[in-house]
Amino acid sequence: MIIPQHVGPIDMVAVIPYIAIICVLAFVLLLVPGLVWIERVVVALIQDRLGPNRVGPRGLLQSIADGVKLFFKEDILPANVDKMVYYLAPVLVIVPALAAGAAIPFSIVKIRLDSGVVEPIPMVVGNVNIGILFILALTSLQVYGIVLAGWASNNKYSLIGGLRSSAQVISYELAMSLAILCGVFICHSLNLVDIVNHQGGYWFGIIPKWNVFQFYGLGAVATIIYLIAMTAETNRAPFDLPEAESELVAGFHTEYSSMKFAIFFMGEYASMLVVSGIATALWFGGWQPLFPFLAFIPGWIWFIGKLMTFIMIYIWVRATLPRLRYDALMSLGWKKLLPMALVVLFLVALVDTLQTPSQPVGSHVAQGHLAASMVIGESQR
Amino acid sequence: MGRGLAILNWSLIGFWIMAIISVCSAVLMIANRNPVRSALFLVLGFMMQALLYLSMSAQFIAAVQIIVYAGAIMVLFLFVIMLLNIGSPEALRERGGLQAPAAIVLAIVFLLLLAGVGALGGSQINHLMNPSVIPNYGTVDAIGKTIFDPSKPWLFPFEATSILLLIGVVGAITLAKRRL
Amino acid sequence: MQSYVPFVMFTAIGFAFIFVTLLMARFVRPSAPNPNKQETYECGPVPVGDAWNQFNIHYYLFALLFVVFDVEAAFLYPWAMAFRMFGLYAVVEMIIFVALLGVGLVYAWRREALEWE
């Protein structure tokens, strides 16, 4: 479908980011109740029990009922909390997650410009030049919400949960950002739209050129590192130690009730959606179709389909794996994922260097200086 | 563009909003008795500085400001505050010493400096306020091409940074694990 | 810069949404505070002292190691964008940089700083 640039007085190119705002907000905020329902049903299926089946057909209205209940619940403010930080913490969890979602492109629209040229315009709220770094910056802020919730509650369990969680999140952030770097290497861009566009096309007309299949399996290793790190980043099972109910009551949100709790809950699902969205865009080709003959399906359906696949993996993993012990968690992050990510990164760099013998503009000058400056560099050291 | 119009400039309005929030958060950070809240105001200040960098099209510096300062160093600060039991309000209270007179002297010096910059007038400052003249200025690309260019002298400082960070690791471990 | 305008709007809407839901709930929900309800919940027993207490130094160690490697990652991004221009030279340059930090990681490993006690 090709849309003309001017529909009446409206310039479509300028309007697209604002349409994207509505799409992303509606998607995240409306989908969260649906996700909760899907999760409960799927986990029940895997664990061979009934799951929600009372409210509405097949329990479909269950999470809406939960939401309404939380809305009308009394808001208990414990006596010893630090009020300002206590109310700020849930906001700090959800806003970075939402804001990071703004940088993920989820589809593409073809627009016929006034000049007659048909141009593909990405559907994204902010097509930021440094997209990936921007998202990393925002997700690195999420740690505050958790650690401050734990601290402000003035509850020992909460504080332990908050500290655990923040230590876990920062540990896996390293592996995550190094894995993302591998993707940046393969596409040679930080802009997520460029990254997705780079993944168009097929080998032998059938295997998609997604980053996960690139670089002789190195892309797949980086993808696996990213997927593990993203599960840990969102504090989901089997990395859900911060809210390990058998030891810490409910972890950092023990003292949170009513809507404040609901916002924590929404924040968890929003950040799940965001990291899955990054995985989709960075490794699995974003809106690019799986096979060339399926290209008639619109891009946003592909994107949402891939996104939901990751959500399903999340749920599946949660229903299958037991929780890790804390020392095992830290040693997985620091002793396995981090060195592995570094090695993969350098292998990707080496392969890329050997693959591209001819260099772009200015290489001649750079080459000329190479020998001389290496001598200078050595003598300086 | 006349000066009257320049004041109504959107980017200038943005600048003033960010600048005011930034200064206020800095003041609140110092004035607050509670160390955790102080740390939070410092984070707010960092965010505003990141936005200021962004408004000067220094995208990479803005991102690094948030990732490293707000996302890593301040988390370390928070941990230290929480671990050392100075997290409880009213635990930090200092009085006496040379702090007050020193602060007054420094404040006077700072105000004089500001006045001096103001006295230079708009003409010299104006061109500093429109930095996005160079194409690709401040992009990650441009920074990488500058740091890693063999014909530029940044190789040694770059590798020295690594040694500095290594010293940091060794120092921290030695401090935390006293028994050798 | 243009691309940040819708983004700022989006974040503002996000903020507004959160505040409105928190505020709206205030008008409809009951409020019946009492001292027992407002006590810190620690599984029933009466809490002893504050939670604002001293904690395991290990969290600090991990945070510091994180700062170091985060700075490293920050340097890796411009490198990733530029290294094609300089080829193998840039790769060697970065391998030295990361190897030095790798020494730090190995040191931490050998001193059992990565061990959780």
Residue B37 lies in a domain: yes
What's the pLDDT band for A47 if we cut at 50, 70, 90?
confident
The pLDDT of residue B9 is above 90: no
Separation CA C73–CA C68 (nearest Å): 9
CATH number of C4-110: 1.20.58.1610
Q: Which residue from B minimizes the CA distance to A92? A: B40
Residue A374 lies in a domain: no
> Residue A10 in 3-state DSSP?
strand
Residue B180 lies in a domain: no
Taking an 8 Å cut-off on Cβ atoms, the answer to whether C56 and B83 are in contact is: yes
The pLDDT of residue A100 is above 70: yes
Residue B140 lies in a domain: no
Mean pLDDT in residue range A365-375: 40
| pLDDT at site A364 | 41
pLDDT tens string A172-190: 988 999 999 888 888 888 8
Residue type, position A219, single letter: G
**Every domain of chain C and the residues it spans:** 4-110
The pLDDT of residue A338 is above 70: yes
Mean pLDDT in residue range B117-141: 64
Mean pLDDT in residue range A213-231: 88
What's the pLDDT band for B45 if we cut at 50, 70, 90?
very high
> Which among C54, C67, C74 has CB closest to B85?
C54
Taking an 8 Å cut-off on Cβ atoms, the answer to whether B151 and A373 are in contact is: yes
Picking from A60, A73, A1, the residue whose alpha carbon sits closest to that of residue A33 is A60
Question: Does B93 or A109 have the greater pLDDT score?
Answer: A109
The pLDDT of residue A379 is above 60: no
Could you write out the DSSP letters of every residue in A196-224? HHHT-SEETTTEE--GGG-GGGHHHHHHH
CB A179 within 8 A of CB A222: yes
Taking an 8 Å cut-off on Cβ atoms, the answer to whether A181 and C81 are in contact is: no
Q: Residue A118 belongs to what H/E stretch? A: strand A118-123
* A156-165, A168-177, A264-273, A365-374: least confidently modelled range: A365-374
Question: In angstroms, what separates the C-alpha of B111 from chain A's closest C-alpha?
Answer: 33
Picking from A28, A241, A233, A35, the residue whose alpha carbon sits closest to that of residue A145 is A233
pLDDT tens string B17-29: 888 999 999 999 8
Residue B20 lies in a domain: yes
State chain A's maximal CA–CA distance in angstroms.
Answer: 77
| pLDDT at site A381 | 34
What's the pLDDT band for A226 if we cut at 50, 70, 90?
very high
Question: Does A380 or C7 have the greater pLDDT score?
Answer: C7
Torsional sign, CA A238, A242, A246, A250: negative
Residue B101 lies in a domain: no
| pLDDT at site B133 | 54
Residue A256 lies in a domain: yes
Distances in Å between the alpha carbon of C110 and those of C105, C106, C107, C115?
9, 6, 5, 10
Separation CA A378–CA A100 (nearest Å): 42
* B9-18, B67-76, C47-56: least confidently modelled range: C47-56
| pLDDT at site A53 | 82
Residue A373 lies in a domain: no
- How many beta-carbon pairs under 8 angstroms link A with B? 87
CB A236 within 8 A of CB A318: yes
**In this prediction, what percent of chain B has a pLDDT beyond 70?**
77
**Edge to edge, what strands does the sheet with A107-112 contain?**
A2-4, A107-112, A118-123
Taking an 8 Å cut-off on Cβ atoms, the answer to whether A359 and C87 are in contact is: yes
| pLDDT at site B2 | 43
Phi, psi of A74 (to 5 degrees): -65, 140
Nearest 5°: CA angle at A137, between A136 and A139? 65
Mean pLDDT of chain A: 81
- Reported ipTM: the value is 0.86
> Which among A85, A140, A141 has CB closest to B36?
A85
Picking from C39, C32, C42, the residue whose alpha carbon sits closest to that of residue A78 is C39
Mean pLDDT in residue range B92-109: 78
Which residues in chain C have Cβ-Cβ distances shorter than 8 Å to B83?
A: 54-57, 59-60
> Which among A95, A154, A254 has CB closest to C18?
A95
> Residue A300 in 3-state DSSP?
helix
Which residues in chain B have Cβ-Cβ distances shorter than 8 Å to C68?
A: 165, 168-169
Taking an 8 Å cut-off on Cβ atoms, the answer to whether B150 and A148 are in contact is: no
Picking from A348, A363, A5, the residue whose alpha carbon sits closest to that of residue A181 is A348
CB A94 within 8 A of CB A266: yes
| pLDDT at site C97 | 86
Taking an 8 Å cut-off on Cβ atoms, the answer to whether C97 and B177 are in contact is: no
pLDDT tens string A273-306: 999 999 999 888 888 888 878 878 888 888 889 9
What's the pLDDT band for A227 if we cut at 50, 70, 90?
very high
Mean pLDDT in residue range B72-89: 76
Taking an 8 Å cut-off on Cβ atoms, the answer to whether C68 and B170 are in contact is: no
Residue B56 lies in a domain: yes
The pLDDT of residue A368 is above 50: no
Which CATH number covers residue B85? 1.20.120.1200
Distances in Å between the alpha carbon of B58 and those of A251, B55, B137, B145?
39, 7, 7, 15
> Which residues of B, range 48-87, sit inside 8 Å of A by Cβ?
50, 59-60, 62-63, 66-67, 70-72, 75, 78-79, 82, 87
Picking from A148, A130, A129, A137, the residue whose alpha carbon sits closest to that of residue A100 is A137
Give me the number of domains chain A comprises.
1
Chain C interface mutation, best of A27, A94, A98, highest count of C Cβ atoms under 10 Å: A98
| pLDDT at site B90 | 54
* A66-75, B70-79, B105-114: least confidently modelled range: A66-75
Give me the number of domains chain B comprises.
1
Question: Does B157 or A373 have the greater pLDDT score?
Answer: B157
Residue type, position A100, single letter: A
Which residues in chain C have Cβ-Cβ distances shorter than 8 Å to B67?
A: 70, 73-74
Chain C interface mutation, best of B83, B84, B139, B174, highest count of C Cβ atoms under 10 Å: B83
Nearest 5°: CA angle at A326, between A44 and C104? 135
Q: Residue B89 belongs to what H/E stretch? A: none
| pLDDT at site B42 | 92
What's the pLDDT band for A369 if we cut at 50, 70, 90?
very low
CB A319 within 8 A of CB A43: yes
Residue A372 lies in a domain: no
The pTM of this model reads: 0.86
Note down the domain range covering B68. 3-89+107-134
| pLDDT at site B12 | 77
Separation CA A179–CA A347 (nearest Å): 12
Note down the domain range covering A168. 2-357
pLDDT tens string C38-90: 777 777 677 766 766 667 777 888 888 888 888 888 888 888 888 777 777 77
CB C26 within 8 A of CB A259: no
Chain A touching partners, 3 or more CB pairs below 8 A: B, C
Phi, psi of A107 (to 5 degrees): -165, -175
The HSE-up count of residue A133 (CA atoms within 13 Å, CB side) is 30
| pLDDT at site A225 | 92
**In this prediction, what percent of chain B has a pLDDT beyond 90?**
12
> Residue B134 in 3-state DSSP?
coil
